[in-house]
Amino acid sequence: MSASRTKDAVGYTDPIAVTAGETLRVKVSTTARQVRLGVRTIESVTWSQETGPIVSLANAEGFEDVALDGIHHEVPLGSYAMAPVSEVARGSATKTFGLLFMPTSKSGRRQAIAQFYDGEGISLGGLWVDEDRHVAIVDAASATLLRTGYPLERGRWMAIAATFARPTGGALLAVAPLHGDVSVAGDARQLGGLEMARSLSLGACVTGGIPGGAVDGRFADPMLAAVDAQEVASALAGGPEGWRRITRAHGAAAIQTRWDFSRFPESDRVVDAGPARCDAVLVNTPTRAITGPFWDGSVFDWRQRPDHYNAVHFHSDDLADCRWPDALKLEIPQDCASGLYGISLETERGSDVVPFVVRSPIGSRAPVALLLPTFTYLSYGNAPMVMRGPDHGIASYPDEQPVDGHPGFGRSHYDRHDDGSPVMLSSRLRPVLSMRFGSLPWGLIPDTWLLTWLMEQYGQVDVLTDEDLHREGIDALAGHRVVVTGNHPEYYSTEMLDALDAYCDDGGRLLYLGGNGFYWRVSVSNRVPGQIEVRRTEDGTRAWIAEPGEGHHMMDGGYGGLWRRLGRPPNRLAGVGFAAQGFDESGYYKVNPDARSGLAAFALDGIGDTLGHHGWLGNGAAGQEVDRVERRLAPDADIHLVASSLGHPPSMLRTKEEMLSTVLPFDDPKARSDIAIRFAGRSGAVFSVGSMTWVGALLDGGDTKGRNDVVRMTANVINRFLDPAPFRSAG
């Protein structure tokens, strides 16, 4: 993987993980004329302090390389809604569209509020926002017929109505701030051809499935009506009572269609609350369960007052699904060993290797399994490097280079949208360049180090993913005597925590070889495979915070934020919880003398008074994001402290949720990592190292004599965990 090669091919798989005997769908886009596709095994991934990741690939048995014609696919960035137009609306003499709209775009660019199409999908014109924020009626050729007299205000709810046609001829445009005066503009011309309208898009102009002029902004109560724009705008601007007055005054016939964003926010369906029943479908998952124009702060849960949450937030950079066709349907042989694999895409000028996982069926699972934290990979997916750990001094990472013909592949939970609003959704149905073997060592790369070491020590090691655990629960872990996490399992659903709790309570053994784990609550879409939602609420170390009233997830209604704030601190499962972070030099551990005579003594066989003075990540085994024992957060847990870290620089600071004041203690005994074992019943156990840099010490040589005490302790624990003998005697 040379950094000098241009990346002109890119892909993704659906799903990320398959069981032997199943089919993997491979998606590819390239500007090259031909691409060679092959399946590779990951023999090893190591690290060079000078050049970065060193990846060793080999041809996978049972697969043949194939040559595919190169096809370039666009990325359909931008969310929108599509709905049919009723026969009644087409035949109405007065054709008016109205809505409440909050513009949020920071840039001056044209944006499509509503666009009509005939039966062939050809545009008939619609309602747009111009570069100078004026609202305009445009015809089929995008020429302006009429525009408002004053611009919209960013961040303010505005009532907008456009009468495209009326019996007396001409068009009307009416705009008013919420609870403000209406401004009306008119023109003798009117928008022709709407009698042929068969569909309508909201939030973008769509051509061949690709959105253009996508909106950044919030919509509420968009509708088609048989009354003039001034009356519709006046009603909307008057607030809830104004809207009720117009519906009472004119009856159901006046409102032909009204799309209600307050209902079923977990789905892609938008109910038409009018008589036409022309339900809309949302594309690219715009954000729902957000406060609407009439939210007054009296409730904070959208399920209590749905009418206060009658809005949707469209973003010009939303991306839930690239919707690329299958380049290849790859049949996984029944005898294919479980593991981490790569789809190799080679052209004359570049390459991409797309990771995927093959799982073992229940009846033939290996004793040791690695649980890859793929939800964490997605949460950080395509995030800026500055949000993914320290600068290691590497000039470039080949797999994170821009791709020919593609401006980008969507954002991460560590970003904000172009309009400044937080990114709450992330999907795997797109290329995730940060989840590659030649990327920054944050996420997949350190976990491949761990997998390399596990395979060297224990031979066959099965691999599974967060999505498997979420979907299957404890059944995903059945047959494995020992389950090992990756180095940063930060994002967890309720179902995943329940599964790990049940596994350990039932005698399972878990190794948590990382830091900052089990931290944020995620919910998982039932509609877009693998899509996850995060809402960062009132606490935690975070890149953004959800707006007031928007802490409840759209996917399941559950409250978002830290598991610690939700009553399930990581300490209850792992014995440790997130304590501090710092990205300079890493520290080392000093052994707790009491541990040598307790239940956890097996971990210390052959270990001196200190350990972990080496490693690829900061030259120590205790660093980056670290966890410690805090017994008050898990008072009933049987936690045994094995070792605590020392040697951290002043930049290792306690996490925000651990601080009760703004005065930072510069010599902080709580800014540390603890190694601990939590015993569950007679046979279950969790070994936790409380550090993201531990795995960086497994393949490093250790001290000058080649002794690696991090390897020794990890192997001590796995070997004892593989022994089914209980840790306690009966009674």
In the CATH hierarchy, which top-level class contains the domain 9-75+322-357?
A: mainly beta
CB of 320 closer than 8 Å to CB of 425:
yes
* Predicted pLDDT at 247: 60
Give CA–CA dist 548/546, Å, rounded: 7
Task: State which residues of the chain have pLDDT below 70.
Answer: 1-6, 246-253, 662-666, 704-706, 731
Question: Which of 53, 26, 28, 30 is CA-nearest to residue 42?
Answer: 53
Domain with CATH 2.60.120.200 in the chain: 80-314
Q: Would you give the DSSP letter of residue 720? A: H
Question: Which of 3, 4, 76, 10 is CA-nearest to residue 431?
Answer: 10
Written as one string, the DSSP assignment of 615-659 is -TTTTSSEEEEEEE--GGGSTTSEEEEEEEEE---TT-EE-GGG-
* Predicted pLDDT at 285: 98
Give CA–CA dist 256/275, Å, rounded: 6
* Predicted pLDDT at 707: 74
- Percentage helix, strand, coil for the chain under 3-state DSSP, each rounded to 5: 15, 35, 50
Q: Would you give the DSSP letter of residue 178? A: T
pTM summary value: 0.96
* Predicted pLDDT at 401: 86
SS (H, E, C) 433-489: CCCCCCCCCCCHHHHHHHHHHHHHHHCCCEEEEHHHHHHHHHHHHCCCCEEEECCCC
CB of 382 closer than 8 Å to CB of 426:
no
Phi, psi at 498, each rounded to 5°: -60, -40
Domain with CATH 2.60.40.1930 in the chain: 9-75+322-357
Work out the angle at residue 416's Cα, subtended by the Cα atoms of residues 415 and 417, and round it to the nearest 5 degrees: 125
First to last CA, the chain: 57
Give CA–CA dist 631/572, Å, rounded: 9
* Predicted pLDDT at 666: 66
CB of 311 closer than 8 Å to CB of 299:
no
* Predicted pLDDT at 248: 59
**How confident is the model over 341-383, as pLDDT tens digits?**
999 999 988 899 999 999 999 889 999 999 999 999 999 999 9
* Predicted pLDDT at 4: 42
SS (H, E, C) 590-615: EECHHHHHCCCHHHHCCCCCEECCCC
* Predicted pLDDT at 2: 39
Please list the residues that pair with 297 across neighbouring strands: none
- Please compute, for residue 541, the number of CA atoms within 13 A of its CA located in the half-sphere on the CB side: 18
Question: Which of 137, 92, 79, 127 is CA-nearest to residue 257?
Answer: 92
Q: Which CATH architecture group holds 80-314? A: Sandwich (2.60)
